[in-house]
Structure 1
């Protein structure tokens, strides 16, 4: 597929690179963390079919169809998107996986002992972008065998001023960027939450809302960016085993979304 897909309307522009959201601008002001800047090396990824450091579970996920080998945050990121439809304001992309296909792990050998990853279920994972007025909606449609266990998280990074003065408002509570930074690799959990306001410094605030996930976590390695991550499960509080008993079960088709509104 073409390297870049551009969505635009009178005030806003969105740039997608191989399925990754690399830019969302309103009136030429950028709201997405730029790859190559300090902090995290990406602009967004999806975490699937597991969330968290699965090394504590010997890189194994137990399912009724046998143990699967996975790595931190799953292996969906190792698959490539195919663009299936696009116009000025909408784009649809899909990743398709055939059960038990061996996938090369990009973390091996420097950051992982597992060279190949696999999953004992077929699935299609569709990512949809829709731009309308000052709102970008990103929808995920998971199609799989009914009863397939999974965790899902979305991991977009937002551009900040690098002053440390931004705050996040959730259910009336203000959370400082310093508090999020100090949470470290476990991230800052906002359980049973589906909406925040990111109060930006020097530009419009963002209302970020989610459907289908149920929880959020906030993470930053530096004050120039913030990841706002909707998740189906938060795994850092416990030593839970990665097995279908601790995961969601597919309904055959499951739909999730994040909506980013410039205020």
Structure 2
């Protein structure tokens, strides 16, 4: 079911917790499913970020090894709509420790039919339209000491041939991102980036600390806030990038646009 949020000249479309549209004055900023590049428009990377194939799909935790696939198991769990109004909506996922979850990548892209995580957690995602733009938040609660990484993976539609990403003093063109390939281009120690395309899109974050950028086509680009860049270590040492649940914590992404 598609939920629509609206405020002034802004409109947001959400399907089962996935941001499928963000329009300002009719201009679409989100990559559309079915267009070249990626079969989704946004997703979350949790409780791990990055591939784990070189570690036999096992991630070390204080409770032993967990079977994970690329970017974790959260995306394999369905959202439930838990609140909605004209300009905001909240979606929730619950996971019980050690529950097997079917892996949609199996068998074509992964040898692992089921994934599991040895901790229970609740993951909430909210969207809120305000006068400045779109706010997207993620609230994580779970067992005390649960390790995790978090990444948000939105894809933005490109309308011009030479888009530019500005991050501090860096100017990053699409060829630089394409050249890095599947590893994704790292932007470390950064909480704000600007995408200059047809119009300008500014992404500010709270809690993440870093970004990475990925695309394999010139019609879209993923600008992904992350807590850890997964290629900073070998896959067998991915646990070195974990944060730890101490209490409920919210991470925020603010998308401000101008045309």
| Corresponding residue number in structure 2 for 1:14 | 12
User: Structure 1 CA distance, aligned partners of 2:61 and 2:174?
Assistant: 38
| Corresponding residue number in structure 2 for 1:97 | 95
**Deviation sequence 1:78-126 (CA, Å, 0-9, x none):** 0000001000001000000000001000111111111111001000000
| Corresponding residue number in structure 2 for 1:29 | 27
Within-5 A mapping of 1:208-247: 208-242=203-237, 244-247=239-242
Within-5 A mapping of 1:14-93: 14-93=12-91
Q: Is the 8 A contact 1:164 1:178 kept in 2?
A: no
| Corresponding residue number in structure 2 for 1:165 | 162
Give the match's secondary structure for 1:120: coil
**Ranges in structure 2 where 5+ consecutive residues have no aligned partner:** none
Cα offset for 1:254?
1.8
| Corresponding residue number in structure 2 for 1:187 | 184
Give the match's secondary structure for 2:230: coil
Within-5 A mapping of 1:116-131: 116-131=114-129
Q: Is the 8 A contact 1:208 1:258 kept in 2?
A: yes
| Corresponding residue number in structure 2 for 1:259 | 254
Cα offset for 1:180?
1.0
User: Structure 2 CA distance, aligned partners of 1:207 and 1:243?
Assistant: 30
Cα offset for 1:236?
1.5
> What's the RMSD between the two structures over aligned residues?
1.2
Q: Is the 8 A contact 2:230 2:238 kept in 1?
A: no
**Ranges in structure 1 where 5+ consecutive residues have no aligned partner:** none
| Corresponding residue number in structure 1 for 2:139 | 141
Cα offset for 1:245?
4.0
Paired residues in the alignment total 258
Give the match's secondary structure for 2:233: coil
| Corresponding residue number in structure 1 for 2:172 | 175
Runs of 4+ in 1 over 3 A off after TM superposition: 242-246
Q: Is the 8 A contact 1:26 1:134 kept in 2?
A: no
TM-score (norm 2): 0.97
TM-score (norm 1): 0.95
Q: Is the 8 A contact 1:12 1:133 kept in 2?
A: no
Within-5 A mapping of 1:193-208: 193-201=190-198, 204-208=199-203
**Deviation sequence 1:166-212 (CA, Å, 0-9, x none):** 000110321111111111111111000110110013xx201111110
Give the match's secondary structure for 1:155: strand
Give the match's secondary structure for 1:156: strand
Q: Is the 8 A contact 2:188 2:209 kept in 1?
A: yes
